[in-house]
A and B are shown apart, each in its own frame.
Chain A
Amino acid sequence: MGKNFTPHRIAFYVGIIVIWQIISMAGIWPDNIFPSPYEVAEDLAYGAADGSLFYGIATSMWRLAIGLTIAISGGVVLGIFMARVEVINQTVGSLVLGLQSIPSIAWVPLAILWFGLTDGGIIFVTAIGAIFAVTINTYTGVKNIDPHYIEAARNMGAKGSQLITAVLIPAAFPYMISGFKQGWAFAWRGVIGAELLFSFLGLGFLLNAGRSLNDVSQVISIMVVIMVIGLVIDSVVFKKLENKVMSRWGLQ
């Protein structure tokens, strides 16, 4: 975490807040359109005090966790099959590329029709938004495995599912990690987007609630929360995992 708090970076964010405060104090726009950082912070403190903020975060994270778990397990299986079975690659593979180009938010109407305004619908949107990134990266990873690894393993008696768990998955893991990272980013966008439209708890719901109450401070405060969570998961979870894998695999 040390290099996340360089003097430059701290100065930059302090600068943004100061400039923001100056603009809001200049009174160009009324407070209810352009709140000061203080008002946003106050709103955050208020949300934290009554627990609604944490409840929103927990709800969104829970949906994200389930959606991403589905996306990762499904995507890894699909990616391995695409890479190892040419027929599946030529058929399912082309469909995956097509589906990958659909923004996750475009799945929302279908999710509402299939699942109603439920957790299931939001999780569906989250998972489907992330699964194809995981699939494609897993596919690329398995395709790029040094064929000698597979031959050596077969030569030493590895068969069928052993070959998948003992060689294909670990050998493709550096690629899979970037798939998980992309998948997580898509899932995070997906869950917030779906919650906005489903209006059924979570951070996206709080964002939409802020809009309907004309509460710009709440809208901005929730956006800041979404951004901070994104940054933290990206830099703490995935960066660390990626660095560890890269050095272990000797790729760094």
Chain B
Amino acid sequence: MTKLEAKNIVKFFSHESHKLEALGGINLKVEAGDFVCIVGPSGCGKSTFLRIIAGLETPDEGQIIFDGHPVSETSPERILVFQEGALFPWLTVQDNVEFGLKMAGIPKDERAKISNRYLDMMQLTKFANSYTYQLSTGMKQRVAIARALVMDPDVLLMDEPFASLDAQTRDLLLVEMQLIWEKTKKTILFVTHNVAEATVLGNKIVVFSNRPSIIKKEFENNFPRPRVTEDESLLKLQQEILAELRPEVKKNKE
């Protein structure tokens, strides 16, 4: 079943006085339960694409069809996890995780019941009463993921959430992310510039071209899970993806 469809998404950036075409017509079909990783050269608009799906930006042309309806505004059905987490420093970890539930008017006991489940899933129970400045970058991203999962979104949108983590923490979260996906059966779109990360996580990997971006190639990835970054079986696929990506990165530098 098609969960999400991007139809000819075009987006311009205003850069100083001139307009820059970032997205040059993105067409993508995402099936329910897909784990789609998007890779592309920096500045190709892959983050913007996620923001458009989240309804935080509107495309200049084209539309996003979600469950058969065009997306017109942001909604908890499509939750974006920001690169830096965007956690609220004035709230405890637990209150951060419960934020969306509170906005929805869910009573306190009910909220605690739901949030405790996800705090436990993300191994955050010990930190429930901490403030975000007391957490490491990795912990912050766990909170951001828990805060998104609590909303029980149909689609989870993740914008390079592991980009600023150290290698060990990232490897750990890569494994956990696969378990979460298998457990919750969420549809996930995950933007990254790290090809190894994409091959570990995605069952579908989409390569964006340089600006104005189109989808250059889509890869299927059905290697057994859980996968880790060093899996030799993934090397060939990684090389194929890199072969598509390299000329785009080069163009980007010119």
Contact = CB atoms under 8 A, between A and B. Distances in A.
A248 B131 contact: yes
A28 B99 CA distance: 70
B76 to A, nearest CB: 5
A248 B133 CA distance: 8
Contacts of A173: 90
B88 interface: yes
Contacts of B103: 153, 156-159, 162, 166
B28 to A, nearest CB: 20
B23 interface: no
B88 A171 contact: yes
A189 B171 CA distance: 59
A97 B104 CA distance: 39
A158 B103 CA distance: 6
A154 B56 contact: yes
A146 B82 CA distance: 12
A156 B79 contact: yes
A152 interface: yes
A123 B78 CA distance: 50
Interface in A136-162: 146, 148-149, 151-159, 162
A249 B90 CA distance: 6
A171 B96 CA distance: 13
A56 interface: no
Given A156-B76, A170-B90, A250-B132, A148 B84 contact: yes
B64 interface: no
Nearest to B78: A155
A167 interface: yes
A156 B100 contact: yes
B90 A151 contact: no
B99 A155 contact: no
A170 B90 CA distance: 7
B74 interface: yes
Interface string A189-216: 0000000000000000000000000000
A146 B83 CA distance: 13
Helix, strand, loop or mixed for chain A's interface? Answer: helix
Contacts of A146: 86
A89 B222 CA distance: 55
Contact of B74 (A148, A155, A162, A170): A155
A150 B104 CA distance: 16
A162 B74 CA distance: 15
Nearest to B99: A156
Interface string B43-81: 000000000001110000000000000000011101110
A154 B91 CA distance: 17
B75 A149 contact: no
Nearest to A159: B103
B86 A151 contact: yes
Interface string B86-120: 10111100000001101110000000000000000
Contact of A148 (B76, B78, B82): B82
Given A156-B147, A157-B100, A170-B91, 16 more contacts: A148-B84, A151-B56, A151-B82, A152-B86, A155-B54, A155-B56, A156-B76, A156-B100, A158-B99, A166-B99, A166-B102, A170-B90, A247-B133, A248-B90, A248-B131, A250-B132
6 nearest A-B pairs in the assembled complex, by CB-CB distance: A250-B133, A156-B100, A148-B86, A170-B90, A152-B86, A157-B103
6 contacts: A151-B56, A155-B80, A158-B103, A166-B102, A248-B89, A249-B90
Interface of A: 146, 148-149, 151-159, 162, 166-167, 170-171, 173, 247-250
